[in-house]
Amino acid sequence: MSDERINNLILIGMPGAGKSTLGVVLAKILNMDFLDADLVIQKQCGKTLQRIIDEEGAEGFLAIEQDVLGHIEASNTVIATGGSAVYSDAAMEHLRSIGTVVYLKISYESLIERLGDLQERGVVLKGGVSMSLRDLYAERMPLYERHAEVVVNVDDLSITAAARRVASVFRV
């Protein structure tokens, strides 16, 4: 990692890719702190992500998320973002300025196995509630690819194995 930047690891990827769960394990492996951006949003708003989306709509939620992500100040921290973080170039630019952006890549088939009901997970569906998981996947994949500095395929890996794979990229 570049010495000019604060040594954070920012995890991006689809809901269900393991950002939060893997992030905790990764932080332990690398002796780093852990921050879940979705929990920061919930705490600041005093509501669940799904309730924020229900009350504010997708665009309202994305504005809140952009504000929260754009003000994260951390050092030596694994930061798990929400799957929709990549909709904000401003937020991603800030995150890139404080660390290395790691895309946890997962196949559509693996995603189907891991995810339950999208409407219960607090997932932003820009195309509305009728948007399918396949549509969401197709919409977000190019954004993850564009913002990623490192891509780690987590298909067919346990959370611990995936965390070890990410950690191996960053050990000096």
Of residues 118 and 153, the one with the higher pLDDT is 153
Give 133: exposed, middle or buried? Use CB within 10 Å, 0-12, 13-18, 19+. Answer: middle
On the question of pLDDT at 31 being above 80, the answer is yes
Rounded mean pLDDT, 22-34? 96
3-12, 92-101, 103-112, 128-137, range with greatest mean pLDDT: 92-101
Q: Which of 21-25, 109-113, 151-155, 168-172 has the lowest mean pLDDT?
A: 168-172
Asked if residue 133 lies in contact with residue 115, where contact means CB atoms within 8 angstroms, the answer is: yes
Nearest to 111 by CA among 128, 130, 135: 135
CB within 8 A of 144, min separation 6: which ones? 12, 13, 14, 86, 103, 105
Q: Which domains does the chain have, with CATH numbers?
A: 8-167 (3.40.50.300)
Strand 99-105, strand 77-80: pairing:
unpaired
Model pLDDT, residue 76: 95
How much is the pLDDT for 112? Answer: 81
**Residue 96 class from Cβ within 10 Å (0-12 exposed, 13-18 middle, 19+ buried)?**
middle
**pLDDT classification of 72: cutoffs 50, 70, 90:** very high
Residue 4 main-chain phi, psi, to 5 deg: -75, -20
Q: What is the mean pLDDT of residues 48-74?
A: 93
Q: Which residues, at least 6 apart from 40, have a Cβ–Cβ distance to it below 8 Å?
A: 68, 72
Give yes or no for residue 96 having a pLDDT over 90. yes
Q: Tell me what the pLDDT averaged over the chain comes to.
A: 87
